[in-house]
Amino acid sequence: MSYAIPAFLPFFLAALFAAIAPVRFRYLLVLVPLVNGILIYLNADQLTPISIQLHTFTLQIMDVGAQVTEQDAKLTLLFAYLFHLACFICLIYALHVKDKVQIVAGLLYAGSAVGAVFAGDFITLFIFWELLAVTSAFLVFARRTKASKAAGIRYLIIQVLSGVLLLIGAISYFQQTGSLEIGYIGLGSLASWLFLIAFGIKAAFPFMHSWLTDAYPEATPAGAVFLSAFTTKVAIYMLARTFPGEDLLVYIGAAMTCFPIFYAVIENDLRKVLAYSLINQLGFMVCGIGIGTALALNGTVAHAFNDVIFKGLLFMTMGAVLHRVGHVNGSNLGGLYKTMPKTTFFCIIGAASISAFPLFSGFVSKSMVMAAMIEAGHEYLWLMLLFASAGVFHHAGIKIPFFAFFAHDSGLRPKEAPTNMLVAMGIAAFMCILVGTYPEFLYQMLPWENSYVPYDLTHTLTQLQLLFFSALAFVWLNKKGLYPPELKSVNLDFEWIYRKALPAAGVGLARFADNLKTHFVGFAVSAVNALPVKKRGNDANAATLTLRMALGFVFLAVLAFVTQFI
């Protein structure tokens, strides 16, 4: 038996089915990623390459088989499994949703992500890259609030821009090399920079990140879980394929781990806190790609895998709160553990995983990147990552569960999350603990040779010290009253440039142009008025008309004469 269809096709067919079939059949859709994922897993070494001939160009939509290196094939497969698992969990989480827009968009979105990882050339990648953008925007629109519409449009513009840059990059890459095969690029040419920026936008590099913190908190509860899984991870996958070992990425990644945590500490919208923390986790992955050793790349891939699960879990718990309460503002929440104990429990597991507590999934993958950082001799950057590790525990590990479920009692007594949400959270929580306690499960799928041992005495002890004393800092700051209270507010970020500064500059420019026009018109009117009126009423006779024509002719003749000498 062999697997001889494009891997994304089942998703697209399922989306078609979801669009036309009555909404009560949506339960069947859960089977699609599950069965497809299992089929790919069982036939991992018998996948059939598929390409489509378009005029003179061949689109490689399933780049598998003998011509692909072992590492690339394993990398592709691991991300493919991951996306199937994520889609499976997301669909269970969204089972109560009767809104077809979300289900169809979610399936198309997951299918595009699967298509992108199997793509063999940049044009195929471009197609799925743009599909990712367009389909995911509907998960934001589907919230159907004014804010979500505007945020969705901004999200779409930036995502499509990333695709356009990718296309320009691909064209200029083709001119230089005559090939469009996806493979190692490395920085240097203009094309490579275009690729880096295109991938960088989707991977939320600093100053290109604000689409993420802008749109994700505006998405629907289930939409945010979908969003957190795919777009950024496809970008990480592409960076790992095309820019491994690029030194610049180490510095970009280190910056990405640090700057969002400051915002996360003072942010009130808890899903926005998670969005910032998502950038922080991406930072670890970008660092790993930048280091480029086998350990670092394995760490990146493993962390991407874990991040999808635990960040998805955290988004699911906050989605459940949003579903039940209608908002996730830390300032107006608290004490929800009383009526949502299961959600609280799952949130704590997600928090422990993202904070890299021993026995939870973050512990076995984040440390690979950290260890690779020391091996590569970046001591100061390693300190930055350690700072970020303490910080992530602070804002995602403590702040999210504490302000939502504990803290001061808000008096809210919402119902426990719907059963399907709890099942989805349970699966994700199980995966977090499975990977944390039995890392071999994940390690055996890693693309490169792996001999890393996460559970040694030094690592466990130092990590526990780091985390417990971060928690101690939280307790101490709270007791001293130094901890910033949750306030209803907006914190200015890079999006200020295009949401305030540029529109203001545009309005200013328009006003300036308007003034200029008024002045110019006024001047012209006064100049015309200054001309002596020669007309005698309306009945200008033939004689005056002839005279004017003659004068005009003379003027033109003189002009023609003069131009002869210039």
Partner 1 sequence: MKIETNNTGQKVHFFDNPRNVTWMIRIFYAICILLVAADFVVHRHIYLSYDEIPAFYAIYGFVACVVLVIIATGMRKFVMRDEHFYDKREDEVEQIVPRVDVEHALNSTDEESHS
Smallest gap from Cβ 363 to partner 1, in A, equals 14
Among 326, 508, 522, 552, binds partner 1 (CB under 8 A): 326
Q: Does 548 bind partner 1 (CB under 8 A)?
A: no
Eight-class DSSP state of 60: E
Choices 195-203, 485-493, 527-535, 548-556 (CB under 8 A): range interacting with partner 1: 485-493
Smallest gap from Cβ 485 to partner 1, in A, equals 5
Interacting positions 155-174 with partner 1 (CB under 8 A): none
Residue 219, phi then psi, degrees to nearest 5: -70, 170
Choices 174-182, 183-191, 298-306, 488-496 (CB under 8 A): range interacting with partner 1: 488-496
Based on CB atoms, which residue is closest to partner 1, 500 or 517?
Answer: 500
Supply 542's token pair: 């033939």
Smallest gap from Cβ 411 to partner 1, in A, equals 5
Among 153, 325, 423, 497, binds partner 1 (CB under 8 A): 325
Among 183, 206, 245, 414, binds partner 1 (CB under 8 A): 414
Q: Does 519 bind partner 1 (CB under 8 A)?
A: no
Among 485, 506, 522, 552, binds partner 1 (CB under 8 A): 485
Spatial distance between the Cα atoms of 182 and 162, rounded to a whole number of angstroms: 17
Smallest gap from Cβ 61 to partner 1, in A, equals 40
Interacting positions 363-402 with partner 1 (CB under 8 A): 374, 379, 382, 386-387, 390-391, 394
Among 348, 426, 483, 497, binds partner 1 (CB under 8 A): 483
Q: Does 293 bind partner 1 (CB under 8 A)?
A: no
Smallest gap from Cβ 410 to partner 1, in A, equals 7
Interacting positions 254-273 with partner 1 (CB under 8 A): 261-263, 265-266, 268
Distance, CA of 57 to chain centre: 30
Sequence-distant (6+) residues with CB within 8 A of 70 are: 447
Residue 226 vs residues 153, 232, 252, 322: alpha-carbon distances, Å: 18, 11, 26, 15
Q: Does 552 bind partner 1 (CB under 8 A)?
A: no
Interacting positions 425-464 with partner 1 (CB under 8 A): 456-458, 461-464
Of 264, 266, 318, nearest in space to 485 by CA: 266
**Helix spans in 184-243 (H):** 190-202, 210-215, 221-229, 231-242
Of 240, 282, 275, nearest in space to 257 by CA: 282
At how many degrees (to 10) do helices 221-229 and 231-242 cross? 0
Based on CB atoms, which residue is closest to partner 1, 204 or 390?
Answer: 390
Spatial distance between the Cα atoms of 278 and 260, rounded to a whole number of angstroms: 9
Left (φ > 0), alpha (ψ -120 to 50) or beta: where does 58 sit? beta
Q: Does 493 bind partner 1 (CB under 8 A)?
A: yes
Spatial distance between the Cα atoms of 325 and 403, rounded to a whole number of angstroms: 14
Q: Does 337 bind partner 1 (CB under 8 A)?
A: yes
Interacting positions 213-242 with partner 1 (CB under 8 A): none
Q: Does 153 bind partner 1 (CB under 8 A)?
A: no
Based on CB atoms, which residue is closest to partner 1, 17 or 494?
Answer: 494
Interacting positions 457-476 with partner 1 (CB under 8 A): 457-458, 461-476
Q: Does 505 bind partner 1 (CB under 8 A)?
A: no
Helix (H) or strand (E) holding 33: helix 31-42
Tell me how far apart the 2 most distant CA atoms of the chain are, in Å. 110
Among 484, 534, 562, 564, binds partner 1 (CB under 8 A): 484
Among 98, 413, 511, 519, binds partner 1 (CB under 8 A): 413
CB-side neighbour CA atoms (13 Å) of 158: 29
Q: Does 338 bind partner 1 (CB under 8 A)?
A: yes
Among 6, 115, 334, 401, binds partner 1 (CB under 8 A): 334
Supply 117's token pair: 């990882």
Of 190, 187, 147, nearest in space to 171 by CA: 190
Contact 319, 102 (CB under 8 A): no
In DSSP notation, 137-183 reads HHHHHTT-SHHHHHHHHHHHHHHHHHHHHHHHHHHHHHHHHS--B-S
Smallest gap from Cβ 344 to partner 1, in A, equals 11
